[in-house]
Amino acid sequence: MSSPILKMVAERIALSLLLLFFVSIMIFVGTQILPGDVAQSILGQSATPQALANLREALGLNDPAYVRYFKWLGHALTGDLGTALSSGQDIASSIWPRLKNTMFLAFWAAVASIPLAVLLGLIAVRYRNGLVDRFISGFALASTSLPEFFIGYLLIYFLAVQFQIFPAISTVYDGMPFLDKMKAIALPALVLTLVVLAHMMRMTRAAILNVMQSAYIETAELKGLSPFEIIWKHALPNALAPIINVVMLNLAFLVVGVVVVEVIFVYPGMGQYLVDHVAKRDVPVVQAVGLIFASVYILLNMVADIAAILANPRLRHPK
């Protein structure tokens, strides 16, 4: 790997770490300015002033904000996410099974959406400005125009209530048979697939069409290669950088943007866990989930940037 590429990769990693640091500050500050009193929400309205003062002291709420922030960040860096105020349980051990469920759902949604998006983008380019291209583009536009909660309720009505093909509530647990688990996540995975499919397909189509204007594409056409062969062998490899970027961004959405979908289907993932504890004003849980979501999003964006650098032939083979 050449020195310019190493330098750019190192810069992306450093920038991502710096961004995560500033995001952690925003998460901490955002949870501190939430209305209400944590001690009051734990002890209830009948708590005495002395009991409230004792609990605030025990929780460290009387310390300056910057002291509490660096304590929280230092513990988080060692894997200690604190204790949930509402249940007294260790947050890290409570989050882990939820995170596994969210990753399981996001993985299968990605398995379905990424190859399908690239394939539909290739087909749309092959038959550009024709009936097939217009149908695919129209479907993509309609899919991106509808919010995920609306798509979710539509699928529940038709596939769970009317035809009873899939369950309306996506209950999964450890030890559940694989096929039963796949059936349980079918509807939320389908919603996520429809939400991200259109964006990836449109970006794939746009990236390949941009490459199709190049001179070497005309040379390939003059050699008598078939249109699909030109697209697959010549246009797609040179359009990988923007496609990888949009795929990674949508992978990040699949992990951190599942809150609405998990709430609709009562799926036991990170999104449902976050919503439950926001309602309880459980600040340590909200901070922990927010930091994990931010870390995943920034990590996948960093991977997208690095992959785009490595996929750029002008950087890999400098003159």
Per-chain mean pLDDT for the chain: 87
45 has a pLDDT exceeding 80: no
CATH number at residue 173: 1.10.3720.10
CA distance 135 to 266: 34
Give the end-to-end CA distance of the chain in Å, rounded to a whole number. Answer: 15
12 within domain boundaries: yes
Q: Is residue 48 part of a domain?
A: no
| Residues across the chain | 319
What pLDDT, on a 0 to 100 scale, did the predictor assign at position 317? Answer: 56
Does position 1 have pLDDT exceeding 60, yes or no?
no
pLDDT in tens, 280-302: 778 889 999 999 999 999 998 89
φ/ψ region of 312 (left if φ > 0, alpha if ψ in -120 to 50, else beta) reads: beta
Q: For residue 285, is it within any domain?
A: yes
Inter-CA distances, 247 with 46, 116, 244, Å: 52, 12, 5
Residue 72 lies in a domain: no
Helix boundaries (H) for the chain = 3-32, 38-43, 49-59, 65-77, 91-126, 131-145, 148-155, 178-184, 186-211, 215-222, 227-230, 236-238, 240-256, 259-264, 270-279, 283-311, 313-316
For the whole model, what pTM was predicted?
A: 0.86
> Is 56 among the domain residues?
no
**Torsion of Cα atoms, 279 then 281 then 284 then 285, to 10°:** 0
Whether the per-residue pLDDT at 223 is higher than 80: the answer is: yes
**Model confidence at 197: pLDDT above 60:** yes
Worst-scoring range by mean pLDDT, 81-85, 217-221, 286-290?
A: 217-221
Instruction: Render pLDDT for 102-119 as a digit per residue (tens, 0 to 9).
Output: 999 999 999 999 999 999
Task: For residue 261, give its domain range.
Answer: 3-35+81-316
Number of domains in the chain: 1
